[in-house]
Amino acid sequence: MTGANLLPGCGRTKAIAVLAALSLSACTMTVVEAPAAPTAPAAAAVPSVPMGQQWLYGSAEGAISIRQTYAQLTSYALAKAKARPADSVIIDEATGKPFACGNKPLAAVFDADETLIWNIGPMRWFALTGSEFDAKTWDQWEKTGTGKAAAMPGALEAMAALRAAGITPIANTNRSATNAAGSEQTLAAAGLGEFKHGETLFLMGDDATGSSKDQRRATIASRWCVVAMAGDQLGDFRNAFNKPEAPPLARRTMATAAPFDGLWGNGWFLFANPVYGPSIRGGFDDIFPPETRWEPQDQQGAR
């Protein structure tokens, strides 16, 4: 037993605080001010790997969860492709209805970070150095990370199966358009095949709407019949869902209300990411509904 590894260290606290505030996929990169909180002695020699990263990047369970979602997506997309659907799974925000498929070629749209690839290079760096997320380091990662990002479990098999069925994988990511070459090379080096900027790779800066992916989705849907869409953050599906400032329960209610409830696992596929993003927030009253409050009988009233 390496018991020490089970103990999340306090040295990483700051790094997590800011990673939690960052959505790589659909947020502006807001660095949240960490309040003056109890901090560990600076001398903490060896930081620990954050729990979310242990589960997602390291564990059997994390890998299986990702594989399952890839299998679910692939099976859904292949069945849809056979039947040639009338509608894309992308919603036209102007009308609230899905874009029409017409005779467009088939495609599946993926976020990149923590959807096609795991960014274990910079995540290790931030955790190891106890440093906060910073845009400059991330920019370097987009430029120089080729060969250091890992295709997510099941992603290679999914890309192969989709392409064999005539479905083109497309990436729609908030990586920067100025680093297009780096991201093309990173995806290719991970074994995921060709993603070409402007054709099958859409980046932040491609249009004037910043981190919202809606307009890029509309551009994609004007050219392709999109049979499946995947991401790890709500903004990968609709920018209207991307309200990191909303209380967790309100976000959850919004994203799982009709008619969207029927789309999850059924055209829209979300990959588990307990590592960063607007999903990682909330105090006790947000996370634990009052009706489920419980305390051990011998300690009642202790709090």
**232-271: contacts with a second copy (CB under 8 A):** 232-234, 241, 245, 248-249, 251-252, 254-256, 264-266, 269-271
Exposure of 95 in the CB half-sphere (CA atoms within 13 A): 8
Establish if 49 lies at the interface with a second copy (CB under 8 A). Answer: yes
Quick one: 242 exposed, middle or buried, by C-beta within 10 A (0-12, 13-18, 19+)? Answer: buried
Establish if 100 lies at the interface with a second copy (CB under 8 A). Answer: no
Q: Residue holding tokens 């989705």?
A: 217
Establish if 294 lies at the interface with a second copy (CB under 8 A). Answer: yes
Establish if 83 lies at the interface with a second copy (CB under 8 A). Answer: no
Establish if 1 lies at the interface with a second copy (CB under 8 A). Answer: yes
Which CB sits closer to a second copy, 21 or 106? Answer: 21
The tokens describing 253, both together, are 């209610």
Query: Can you tell me the distance from the alpha carbon of 191 to that of 297, in angstroms, rounded to the nearest whole number?
Result: 55
The one among 24, 26, 27, 50 contacting a second copy by CB under 8 A: 50
Supply the minimum distance, in Å, between the C-beta of residue 46 and a second copy: 8
Query: Can you tell me the distance from the alpha carbon of 187 to that of 197, in angstroms, rounded to the nearest whole number?
Result: 12
Of 94-102, 135-143, 164-172, 175-183, the segment contacting a second copy by CB under 8 A is 135-143
The one among 100, 194, 210, 286 contacting a second copy by CB under 8 A: 286
The one among 24, 48, 158, 159 contacting a second copy by CB under 8 A: 48
Exposed e or buried b for every residue in 245-260, given b needs 16+ CB within 10 A? eeeeeebeeebeeeeb
Cβ–Cβ < 8 Å for 298, 46: no
